[in-house]
Amino acid sequence: MLEPRKVKWRRVHRGRRRGMATKGSHVAFGSFGLKALEPGWVTARQIESCRVAIIRKIRKHGRMWIRIFPDKPITKKPAEVRMGKGKGAPDQWVAVVKPGKIMFEVEGVSRELAAEAFRIAGYKLPIKTKLAERREQAG
């Protein structure tokens, strides 16, 4: 599963999920992308589950890119521990996703196959998603 090799801070604040994605909001590498429609945290396990689902569907026909990376540690205190005594130990890693962010991209497959692969992957995510197509830049 994905996680950073080295981090500056072991524990971080939760933050606020506000605004739209400005960077990474267009299909850049492939022909089709899976776009987030609402904000949320996507865990490393969910990213891996989506990766496996997409790869199984497209087989050797195309190529896939993962455009999000889980770089935010989420802490958790052990079971049956009283409140206080500091923040818990890092438990899992999440990627902060804003609406409009392209999370996965594929290339070399038909629109129908890409839509089906992203539909299956979308079931494994905690946020609503849609299929996005690459638009050629004018000029």
Q: Helix H segments across 13-110?
A: 44-58
Cα 46–Cα 51–Cα 52 angle in degrees, nearest 5:
100
- The CATH class for the domain spanning 39-76+89-130 reads alpha beta
In the chain, domain spans: 39-76+89-130
**pLDDT mean across residues, the chain:** 94
How distant, in Å, are the alpha carbons of 68, 74, 82, 91, 138 from that of 104?
A: 8, 23, 40, 25, 24
Q: Which residues pair with 75 in a beta bridge?
A: 90
Q: Which residues pair with 115 in a beta bridge?
A: none
Q: What is the pLDDT of residues 68-125, one digit of tens each?
A: 999 999 999 999 999 999 999 999 999 999 999 999 999 999 999 999 999 999 999 9
Q: Residue 23: exposed, middle, or buried by beta-carbon count in 10 A (0-12, 13-18, 19+)?
A: exposed
